[in-house]
Amino acid sequence: MANTLKFLRALSDPTRLRIVRLLERSELSVNELQEITRMGQSRISTHLGLLQESGLLESRREGKRAFYRINFQAGEAEREFIRLAVKGAQELPEQADDELNLKRVLIRRAQHEETYFNHVAGRFDRSYGPGRSWQAFGHLLLRILPPLVIADLGSGEGLMSELLARRAKRVIAVDNSEKMVAFGANKAKKNRLKNIEFRLGDLEEPPIEPGTIDLAILSQALHHAQNPERAIQSAHALLQPGGQIVILDLLAHNFEKARELYGDQWLGFAESDLHRWVELAGFKKIEINIVAREEQPPHFQTILVGGEK
């Protein structure tokens, strides 16, 4: 009876059911569980401690990181409670988001992308190298960009459109501000960029013929849209088969002043929401990564999303 009560107490919280289901799928670190569940470290650690104390979980250390997993060496009673916990977690409203976030975390872990980019960024911060800069790398990458037809949706004054136009076959820059469109068009004319066209229009109904675009870019534009999901669907319609979407935007945050200061409609987005919208729009080969974090408060984080039609 004592063991039964212990297991019941350990699994009496919905969050702990979610954790058990996630760990039943894969061994995960505390940081990965934070990222998947969107909970703080202290809260996650408390739940993990209770589950491990009950004998349902076990852990190991790898350097400074602790990894947790289901205790597969547990007895039949423990295994039965684990099965019940997994079944209960499937009925929770957070289940769908947990699945998407787990998938994304495991893909990124396999590809080692986060480790690689953090390592590269660290080398830039620590040491000086003559002529070495992100600006130079940007120009290098532009040189190897194939001649694509690109839609820059929510282009603003057209800085990115101008850069892309130097290598792209054609760039169509769309913005809903007449002043921005006029400014961008005049600037492109002064710079003698004849393969860039600025059009006045909305993200949700861009004035571009369907099936004519190779690459659709939404760079820090989606959080200004009234309906981000519809904007992504519209981008899908513009693309040719095999075309790609790239979204660069803010990770969900709580800086309410962004609405007043920057005119933001949305305070960033959760990875799970973006993944769902991109997938529902019909995109495949979806990749989502957090690619930058500002050092100064409110510590905005930038998320990069890619998909193929």
Backbone dihedral region for residue 300 (phi beyond 0: left; psi -120 to 50: alpha; all else: beta): beta
Which range, 62-71, 107-116, 270-279, has the best average confidence (pLDDT)?
Answer: 270-279
Residues 77 and 143 in one domain: no
What's the rounded mean pLDDT across residues 252-257?
91
Residues 89 and 118 in one domain: no
Q: Which of 45-49, 129-133, 165-169, 263-267 has the lowest mean pLDDT?
A: 129-133
Tell me if 227 sits within 8 A of 196, measured CB to CB.
no
Q: How far apart are CA 138 and CA 165, in angstroms?
A: 14
pLDDT score of 120: 52
pLDDT score of 118: 55
- pLDDT averaged over the chain? 87
Does some domain include residue 106?
no
Does some domain include residue 103?
no
pTM of the model: 0.65
Range of the domain at 224: 114-308
Residues 75 and 120 in one domain: no
Pick from 35, 64, 95: which residue ends a domain?
A: 95
Residues 173 and 223 in one domain: yes
Q: How far apart are CA 184 and CA 293, in angstroms?
A: 29
On the question of pLDDT at 130 being above 70, the answer is no
Q: How confident is the model at residue 145 (pLDDT cuts 50, 70, 90)?
A: confident
pLDDT score of 105: 85
Pair type for strands 28-29 and 213-219 = unpaired
What's the rounded mean pLDDT across residues 120-146?
65
> Rounded to a whole number, what is the distance in angstroms from the first to the last CA of the chain?
56
Does some domain include residue 219?
yes
What's the rounded mean pLDDT across residues 6-26?
88
Residues 146 and 74 in one domain: no
On the question of pLDDT at 134 being above 70, the answer is no
Residues 89 and 131 in one domain: no
pLDDT score of 123: 53
Residues 255 and 220 in one domain: yes
Length of the chain: 309
Residues 267 and 135 in one domain: yes
What's the rounded mean pLDDT across residues 18-36?
91
Q: How confident is the model at residue 71 (pLDDT cuts 50, 70, 90)?
A: confident
What 3-state class would DSSP assign to 272? Answer: helix
Residue type, 109: R
Structure-model confidence comparison of residues 224 and 8, the more confident one: 224
On the question of pLDDT at 141 being above 90, the answer is no
* Phi–psi pair at 188, nearest 5 degrees: -65, -35
pLDDT score of 176: 92
Give Cα 178 to chain centroid, integer Å: 30
Residues 15 and 43 in one domain: yes
- The CATH number linked to 14 is 1.10.10.10
On the question of pLDDT at 57 being above 70, the answer is yes
- The CATH number linked to 131 is 3.40.50.150
Tell me if 37 sits within 8 A of 17, measured CB to CB.
no
On the question of pLDDT at 244 being above 70, the answer is yes
On the question of pLDDT at 48 being above 70, the answer is yes
* Phi–psi pair at 73, nearest 5 degrees: -90, 0
Residues 59 and 135 in one domain: no
Q: How confident is the model at residue 1 (pLDDT cuts 50, 70, 90)?
A: very low
The closest alpha carbon to 254, from 78, 38, 110, belongs to 38
What's the rounded mean pLDDT across residues 259-270?
90
Does some domain include residue 102?
no
Structure-model confidence comparison of residues 25 and 208, the more confident one: 208
Q: Measure the CA angle with vertex 294, ends 291 and 297; round to 5°.
A: 145
Does some domain include residue 42?
yes
What is the full DSSP assignment across 62-117?
Answer: ETTEEEEEE-TTS-HHHHHHHHHHHHHHTTSTTHHHHHHHHHHHHHHHHHTHHHHH
Looking at the structure of the chain, the number of domains it has is 2
Does some domain include residue 258?
yes
Does some domain include residue 104?
no
Residues 138 and 265 in one domain: yes
Does some domain include residue 108?
no
Residues 176 and 279 in one domain: yes
On the question of pLDDT at 278 being above 50, the answer is yes
